[in-house]
Amino acid sequence: MNSQTDVLILVGSPKARSTSASLGDHLAGLLRKRGLSADTLHVTSNLRQEDGTRALLSAADGTDIIVLAFPLYVDSLPSPLVRALELLAKHRRGMEKPPRQRLLAISNCGFPEARHNETALAQCRIFCRDAGIEWIGGLGLGGGGMINGLPLAKRGRAVKSVLASLELAANALATDTPLPREAVSLMARPLVPVWLYLLVGHSGWRRQARKFGALKKIDDRPYQDKVKTA
Amino acid sequence: MDINGKDNTGPERANDMKVLILDAVSATDTSPSDASMGRIIENEFLKAGWGVHTIAVAEMDISPCRGCFQCWVRTPGICVIADAGRAVAEAWMQSDVVVLFTPLTFGGYSSSLKKAIDRVIPILSPFFMKIRGEVHHKPRYEKYPALVGIGVLPCRDAESAALFSRIIERHATNAHSPWHRAFILSGDRECRGVGDIIGPIAAREQEAA
């Protein structure tokens, strides 16, 4: 171990309370139970700070394992996390002999199907290649809205497969062994049937719009007068 | 730089086709020829009679998306952050083609371009629909622009190139683009030839219109 902490969890959601943070926090707890130290850094708020870049690079230098926990934004990572990876790759490429590091990525999306995460996880794998970091693997979760930033323990049986996946991932990180395929398939398992997810989702959007007095405007087309019609 | 970017209508403008170029390359130093590539792309569209709107995203003050979804439930269709990100979404909807011009970054968009793209989600509906058996957001509008991705690499990288094509394809599905194309340019020679790939697209679409 070369580090100040064994595992650094980089949370890529811009929200203070997020599903990404829920997943990262739960994994951190499992790692601590296995005797590893784990710190969390929220990338968006970190990069807003004056010395954010230095703090990010310093935290990354002081760890053996990096875990990226992020929401899927437009088939990819949120922009602040892309920025963080650009900085990290450049930093490591500038080192004469970068220390051994490993990386696990956990992507969650608001669509019910986990496969939407595949492009973002592939980007994380290419980041590892470019930065000289060992790629442990990627976990993709669909239906992230079911967790909605709550602690996983509070979601109970509804997230049973997520909890099981993170247990397997924690074992792999703690024992320096490959990520089991079962961890990937458990994380990708639908939390609820698609029809139910859509029903709950649509009702949720309407409820939130009603709260803001915007329900009647929810299908508005504010740029319609400028949209060209065929 | 104006907050809305730069509009350019050449003297030869012959139709009302419009292209939005989100340029994340010209302000970077990825390759000596990159800075001129943006101008070459603009010129190919101008030659075919298009209206050209270029936004140099790396130079724009665009805040990252907050993930608050208020653009769907509070001010439907408009981002609540009042900065140049709103202009990107508006310009997107005014265009027939959007060109995403980026240093290829881990097979995808650079952070400068991604910052702008993440702010375009107000153009979609929060509600879901199935496309080819997979759930996506419904369109908010009847018509959306086509998507052309141009990724610039310092040297050939098949893995990144394949992923970029996939990302453009997925992005086009999510953004309800009627068609999409992805191009990778690596090395100065290929970069100087960017006009050869854009010219035929501009001419073909202008004729189709």
Q: Do A76 and B114 touch (CB under 8 A)?
A: yes
Residue A137 has pLDDT above 70, yes or no: yes
ipTM: 0.94
Q: Within 10 A of B208 (CB to CB), how many other CB atoms are there?
A: 8
Q: What percent of chain B has pLDDT over 90?
A: 71
Q: Helices A160-175 and A19-33 sit at what angle, rounded to 10 degrees?
A: 50
Chain A touched by B61 (CB under 8 Å): no
Question: A42-77 pLDDT, tens per residue?
Answer: 999 999 988 999 999 999 999 999 999 999 999 999
Residue B32 has pLDDT above 60, yes or no: no
Write out the two tokens for A182.
């079962």
Q: Does domain B6-208 have CATH number 3.40.50.1220?
A: no
Chain A hits for B174, CB-CB cut-off 8 Å, are 74-75
Chain B hits for A226, CB-CB cut-off 8 Å, are 90, 93-94
Structural domain span for residue A214 = 193-230
Q: Are A200 and A183 in a shared domain? A: no
pLDDT band at B14 (very low <50, low <70, confident <90, very high): low
Chain B hits for A15, CB-CB cut-off 8 Å, are 66-68
Q: Are A39 and A109 in a shared domain? A: yes
Question: B166-194 pLDDT, tens per residue?
Answer: 999 999 999 999 999 999 998 777 777 88
Chain B touched by A226 (CB under 8 Å): yes
Question: A167-184 pLDDT, tens per residue?
Answer: 999 999 999 999 999 999
pLDDT value for A178: 94
pLDDT value for B1: 41
pLDDT band at B203 (very low <50, low <70, confident <90, very high): confident
Residue A4 has pLDDT above 90, yes or no: no
Q: Do A205 and B105 touch (CB under 8 A)?
A: no
Summarize the confidence of residues A138-154 as an average pLDDT: 93
Q: Are A135 and A150 in a shared domain? A: yes
Q: Give the nearest partner residue to B65 out of A73, A82, A214, using CB atoms.
A: A73
DSSP A13-25: -SSSS-HHHHHHH
Q: Are A82 and A157 in a shared domain? A: yes
Q: Do A18 and B67 touch (CB under 8 A)?
A: yes
**Do B140 and B16 contact (CB within 8 A), yes or no?**
no
Summarize the confidence of residues B127-142 as an average pLDDT: 97
pLDDT value for A194: 95
Beta partners for A7? A38, A65
Q: Are A77 and A113 in a shared domain? A: yes
- pTM score above 0.80: yes
Q: What percent of chain B has pLDDT over 70?
A: 89
In the predicted model, what is the mean pLDDT of chain A? 94
A222: nearest CA partner in chain B: B77
- Cβ neighbours for B130, distance < 8 A, ≥ 6 positions apart: B136
In the predicted model, what is the mean pLDDT of chain B? 90
pLDDT value for A1: 42
HEC string of chain B equals: CCCCCEEEECCCCCCCCEEEEEECCCCCCCCCCHHHHHHHHHHHHHHCCCEEEEEEHHHCCCCCCCCCCHHHHCCCCCCCCCCHHHHHHHHHHCCCEEEEEEECECCECCHHHHHHHHCCHHHEEEEEEEECCEEEEEECCCCCCEEEEEEEECCCCHHHHHHHHHHHHHHHHHCCCCCEEEEEEEHHHHHHCHHHHHHHHHHHHHHHC
pLDDT value for A24: 98
Q: Within 10 A of A228 (CB to CB), how many other CB atoms are there?
A: 14
pLDDT value for A15: 94
DSSP reduced 3-state for A2? coil
Q: Do B72 and A218 touch (CB under 8 A)?
A: yes
Q: Are A136 and A228 in a shared domain? A: no
What is the separation of C-alpha A202 from the centre of its chain, rounded to a whole number of angstroms?
24
Chain B hits for A228, CB-CB cut-off 8 Å, are 16, 18, 94, 96, 143
Question: B61-90 pLDDT, tens per residue?
Answer: 999 999 999 999 999 999 999 999 999 999
- At A40, which CATH number? 3.40.50.360
Chain B touched by A79 (CB under 8 Å): yes
Q: Are A85 and A106 in a shared domain? A: yes
Q: Are A152 and A224 in a shared domain? A: no
Q: Are A183 and A158 in a shared domain? A: yes
pLDDT value for A3: 60
Window from B38-52, B63-77, B102-116 with minimum mean pLDDT: B38-52
State how far the alpha carbon of A161 is from the alpha carbons of A60, A139, A186, B147, B168, in Å: 30, 12, 5, 37, 31
Q: Give the nearest partner residue to A75 out of B67, B90, B167, using CB atoms.
A: B167
Domain count, chain A: 2
Q: Are A166 and A215 in a shared domain? A: no
CA distance B199 to chain A (A): 22
Q: Are A146 and A208 in a shared domain? A: no
Q: Are A180 and A225 in a shared domain? A: no
pLDDT value for A229: 55
